Chain A
Amino acid sequence: MRRKLSRFLVSLVLIALVVIMLYPMYWTVINSLKTNSQLFNDSWSFPKVRNWRNYQMAWNYGVKNYIINSFLVTLGTLLVVISVGALGAYGFSRFEFKGKSVLFLLVLGGLMLSPEVSLIPLFGFIQNLGLYDSHLGLVIIYTAFRLPFTIFLLVSYFVSIPHDIEESAYIDGCNSFQVFLKVMLPLSRPIIAGTTIFQSLWVWNEFLFALVFLESDVLKTIPVGLMTFQSKLATNWTGLLASLVIASLPIVTIFLLMRKQFIRGITLGAVKG
């Protein structure tokens, strides 16, 4: 009896949490289909007439652009961070060389350094390099800051790959770069997929660097673009709600479709470490 009661109470708490997590999202969706005055008068009910104009407006007046920008920056960063990271991890895990442990410590030390700490000198540095207000500048900085973790994850996977397949590739006359391409990369697909998911989420949602290093509205990524969009909209609240829904859709869809891989990707580092 006591067991049943406590089970019932715990279930109530779990359900309450489900409501707390989902209701705000549901509320956003239903109100994004209303007009401002409907929002003020009755924000609880499901809209009888669905007003898609908010969506058209949000999409055409900026959100489309922000999504494209986020997509470009995320894709660019991933390409560079995964290839540079995989090469680095290959070097660290498969070769003996002078200074290896110092250099590896240097790379791992980067794990402790947060973007905030380098922000101000980077601001000047990026301007001097002519990379201010460009996607390339963001991609380079994102890459540099995500490399330590990428290398950490890849090295811990690479060392678990047995050497014999490589040996036979070498005997077949491959050089070390061909071994990397033909042996290491194909064997590391799972960790590369996991790292990709982890890093995409980080890059897609990055805020501080994007805020400081991008100036033109046409270049902005979603997290900072929405800030500009909000001030442009002034008091068109339901328009802003629509823009939030559109901006959430890509990542929420990917998450719901690949829930398992997604969570595995996010938790990679902690499981290893």
Chain B
Amino acid sequence: MTKLLYFSWVRERIGVAGEERDIPSTVSTVEQFLNWLSQQGEQYENALADAASLRVALDQTHVTADAPLNGAREIAIFPPMSGG
């Protein structure tokens, strides 16, 4: 099981702050993961439709779409950051 975390409007559109999921072994990159997750229901499709405006962290480290999942235990999805 992989821990998934959602923040900001990604969290609001999916409707939960986080969940545990079994990710299929055929899903090996961040891009493939986002494609797979967007097929898990209408709210996921809606939240993840604009991939260019999403950022992903694997085990709390920023990664790009072509990064391998490498068995990450925690995957977070969020929009570009706007703190400060």
**Are A and B bound to each other?**
no
Which B residues fall within an 8 A CB radius of A?
none
Which A residues fall within an 8 A CB radius of B?
none
